[in-house]
Amino acid sequence: MAVEQKVRELQHFINGSLVPGTSGKYSNVYNPCTGEVIAHVPLATREEVRDAIEKAKAAFPVWKKQSAGKRAEVVQRFRQLVTENIDELLEVICEESGKTKEDARGEITRGLESVDLAINVAHMTKGEYSVNVGGGINAFSAKYPLGVVAAISPFNFPVMVPLAQTSMAVAVGNSVILKPSEKVPISALYISNLWKEAGLPDGVWTVINGDKEAVDELLENKTVQAISFVGSTPVAEHIYQKGTSFNKRVVALGGGKNFMIVMPNADLEKTANAFLGAAYGAASQRCMAISGAITVGKETADRFVAILKEKVEKLKVGPYTDDTVDFGPVITQQSKDAIIQAINKAVDEGAQLVVDGRNPSISQVSKGFYLGPTLFDHVTPGMEIFEQEVFGPARIVVRVESLQEAIDLINDHELGNGVTIFTNNGAAARKFQEEIEVGMVGVNVPIPIPVGYHNFGGLKRSKFGDGVMFGPDQARFFTKVKTISERWIEEDEETSTTFAFPSNEDAK
């Protein structure tokens, strides 16, 4: 007889401790590989969020006054603890997100790049100093933490995105509140324990679980100084507009429709292999996933689709416990239904269905949220599957006659997160880099996601606000700058009153 798995009752992490929810409202957390409920996560009320914010505010002054070196030591210790517990963390990520262990390990590794950058906080927060700018006055700038800041993270990267959003915010001296996706809260609670073990003072790190009610309190509460968000474009725009209306700094990263241009001179076998991983990895639930190929020339398209069809049909979908699978399920049944609806719509609009992944064989024996890989050819602008981001394994091929036509199609699209070109022609690559209006650009790189010490962010409606995720601009986003003009008056110095606007000329 099968043993029924016990459903875990999750909590918030507030002021250094796990705290039960008091709202009486809960959301189910599923194992996408089995379709089973594995946990109940509490959904915080505004009052619970306000209480968490007040505790974070109380912890801020002490953490702010710690030296940059001391804060870096805590971040370094946190990094060490993540690596020491990586196998356990892998299991947590895989169970609640459904991604393969290989993919989860890659996520943690990329997340640690943001931690590594934050360890260099002393360098990242250095100011500028100018001697004798005029009249014996020295001028300098200094960076200070903002206070209480918040991060709202998505389900598709339960560890990497929260680390990218929060590591620098912690390191520069802020108190940080993380609101993880209610679909994957267990990973956030796990890393909370690591922060505490690393020596982070109570209250500096908070995890508050919740839905729109919790988010609205974070957006409206005057104590919260900045918001970092990653999610869909409609929600990102809402977060940005509402957050800035309450005078907060907001960076809100939205979705992407990321194309791979395939030139006639590209090695089509190697390009197809690159497309597979970039397009279908993690069940295509990545904002930087390749959404489709734009092939230049009929012969290129015919050959590339033929190669792709054979490879896509061999991809294997299944649970993370099977080391032979290429990708796992999508996150929920609702997501699966939405993806099938997008596939059906594409068929109705006349796209050519090359590979149909709506009914994978594993669905006959598992209640997990599985979809096989789907591939469309002859997709054209105006079709919904071209215009809209599909957060699941349904990918497209668009045929054009020239590189310029491909560039124009991409530039005309409202989203501008990532894009790449596969070519052996340097002139084509240079033209592509210069003319494309997309934030993250690759040349023969399937997923052009920057390393942790370069800025991450799209253009157009893929990003709202001037901040970033990853990179040195994180230190600027989570600090405020004071510029000080300083002069010491000699005891025997004569002074006089002047009503002219001060200038260097007057101060000679």
The packing angle between helices 101-119 and 68-84, to 10°, is 160
Buried b (16+ CB within 10 A) or exposed e, 474-491: bbbbbbeeeeeeeeeeee
152-190 pLDDT tens trace:
999 999 999 999 999 999 999 999 999 999 999 999 999
Return the top range by mean pLDDT from 258-267, 282-291, 463-472. 258-267
Is residue 506 in a domain? no
pTM of the model: 0.93
* 404-to-262, 263, 275, 297, 429 alpha-carbon distances in Å: 13, 11, 21, 12, 12
2 domain residue, yes or no: no
Report if residue 89 sits inside a domain: yes
Say whether both 405 and 382 belong to one domain: yes
In sign, the C-alpha dihedral spanning 171, 175, 180, 184 is positive
Residue 440 backbone class (left: φ over 0; alpha: ψ -120 to 50; beta: rest)? beta
For tokens 């239904």, name the residue: 337
∠ CA 65-71-75, nearest 5°, is 155
Predicted confidence (pLDDT) at residue 214 exceeds the cutoff of 80: yes
pLDDT digits (tens, 9 = 90+) for 190-208: 999 999 999 999 999 999 9
Residue with tokens 């970033």: 468
**381 within a domain of the structure (yes/no):** yes
Q: How many CB atoms lie within 10 A of CB 394?
A: 28
Please report the pLDDT score of residue 245 as a whole number.
Answer: 97
- pLDDT of 136: 85
pLDDT tens digits, one per residue of 22-46: 999 999 999 999 999 999 999 999 9
State both tokens at 429: 């690559």
- CATH code of the domain containing 229: 3.40.605.10
Q: Residue 230: what pLDDT? A: 95
Residues with catalytic roles: 287
pLDDT value for 504: 65
Q: Is the pLDDT of residue 441 over 60?
A: yes
> Using 50, 70 and 90 to split pLDDT, how confident is the model at 471?
confident
DSSP letter at 414 equals S
pLDDT for 3 beyond 60 = no
Q: Is 391 exposed, middle or buried (0-12, 13-18, 19+ CB in 10 A)?
A: buried
Centroid of chain to Cα 1:
42
pLDDT attached to residue 1: 37
Contacts of 499 (CB under 8 A, 6+ apart): none
Please give the pLDDT value at position 135: 81
Region 436-443: mean pLDDT is: 92
| CATH number where 278 lies | 3.40.309.10
322 & 219 share domain: no
Contact 29, 185 (CB under 8 A): yes
Encoded tokens for 412: 């005309």
207 and 306 belong to one structural domain: no
- Bridge pairing between strands 258-262 and 249-253: unpaired
Q: Token digits for 84?
A: 């020491």
Q: Is residue 508 part of a domain?
A: no
Cα–Cα distance, 66 to 508 (Å, whole number): 40
Residue 215 and residue 309 in one domain: no
Phi, psi values for residue 105, rounded to 5°: -65, -40
Burial class (CB in 10 A: 0-12, 13-18, 19+), 439: buried
Domain that holds residue 277: 258-443
Q: Are 228 and 465 in contact (CB under 8 A)?
A: no
Lowest mean pLDDT among 58-62, 194-198, 249-253, 501-505: 501-505
Q: Higher confidence at residue 317 or residue 128? A: 317
Quote the Cα angle for 436-456-166, to 5°. Answer: 165
Given this model, what pLDDT does residue 197 score? 97
Instruction: Give me the residue label for tokens 């064989």.
Output: 361
Residues 108 and 63 in one domain: yes
How much is the average pLDDT of 73-95? 97
CA 286/CA 307 separation, integer angstroms: 24
Beta bridge partners, 129, equal 140
* Whether residue 246 is found in the same domain as residue 262: no
249 and 266 within one domain: no
User: Looking at the structure, do residues 47 and 26 belong to the same domain, yes or no?
Assistant: yes
Q: What is the pLDDT of residue 505?
A: 63
Mean pLDDT of 480-505: 80
For the chain, how many structural domains are there in total? 2
Residue 440: per-residue pLDDT:
87
Among 90-99, 385-394, 424-433, 484-493, the range scoring the smallest mean pLDDT is 484-493
The C-alpha atoms of residue 124 and residue 111 are separated, in whole angstroms, by 18
